[in-house]
Structure 1
Amino acid sequence: MDTTSPYYGQVRLLTRILPLVAVEKSFALKGGTAINLFIRDLPRLSVDIDLVYLPMDDRDAALRNVAEALARIADAVIAAMPGTEIVRSFEHQADSLRLFVAQGGDRIKIELSPVLRGSVFPEELREVAPAVEEQFGYVEMRLLSIPDLYAGKICAALDRQHPRDFFDVKLLFENEGLTEDLVRTFLVYLISHNRTMAELLQPTHKDI
């Protein structure tokens, strides 16, 4: 891997921050970072920390608890990594559950949905893939289950139609495939999506 690439620096920053995020037991990792740094052996880089709030609290309690946890993460990052700059979006808008973290020229985002919380299957504690450990060091983190991860990823692929999502789904088909657990979990995520099921299942195709 090209160590001069800006993406390399972002992944290095991400893997330094993940252990500080992992302290918060109410969070689990999802999305491209979970898939490509933990489930797969680094077939592509992913530079955002997308999290799920696991407890099924009511909305007001969830927003409050997530904001408090993000504040603790921000404080821990600043203490562990002097010179790091952090923007705490939730301080300006209660449902903007994001941290923007910058160190030097490297920038990453930590984000949660203000609506979706919980998971279909229990979360799992996983270690980073061998290629990640070799280049960036050992990290372990709670992840959503494979059915939860890929149910969300398939919804994202249908919604965004971005090449990175199609790539992740391609590797799913080449490995685990569409299991019964995944199909059932996908239905939950489909119903829970902010777009209607009809829109998501029959999207306007983008020219990619």
Structure 2
Amino acid sequence: MKTGSILALAMLALAAPVSGKDKELPYREYKAGEPVVLAPDTAYLLVRSIDLWGFRFVRIAGDDGSVADPAEFAEFPGYRSFDKSLPVRTHVLAVRPGTYWLYGEKTGFHLEGPFLNCLCMGTIRFDAKPGVITDLGTIRDLAKETGNGKRADARGVTHQLLGNATARAILVEPVSDKDPVPASLAALTRVPAGYRAAGTLPNLDGTMIDRISVMPGILRYERDEIIDAKTGQRLR
């Protein structure tokens, strides 16, 4: 597995939003109820969450992620919501167009510092195109929702997470017609994320590692190997 260098660690520490006043961030999170106007040179993300600490995306150069700059990221805290009238939390981000990894869950409640659980051992990627909202569906932390499997999740489903090679803490649910959409975004151009499997990621900040749950038709595992479920290709 690829590992981050000391330089990458330093860059990530500089990228962490300790103080938004000291450094301009490479993304913008919209506040609750804030008007969203789509600019032709900017990409937009819509994410739903249920009980999530927060999440980080990392922009990559090229489709395979052979080059990734830890300063090129976007993230949101799970405790905020763009539309508080909906049954799930929603998050709207303006980002640079390009290809992004679902890199990891932020485990610091206020997103202070590079406290991440890196999805280095299996995750997905997607393209964020300019002038439209890319709908990422719902990102869930089943370990947090269920107390590591001690209770049912927010939808009343029980999960066996410990020792489970396919059902992990992070579950990504692609958008469906049943998912709520903030009313202020209903008239704006919105497209579903075209998720693709990603190979092992560099552990940019040297933290704990994990992988997302299996996604039918997109990503699966054979022991420690990541399989692109669309092509059958084994990813490195």
Q: TM-score, normalised by structure 2?
A: 0.27
Higher helix share: 1
Higher strand share: 2
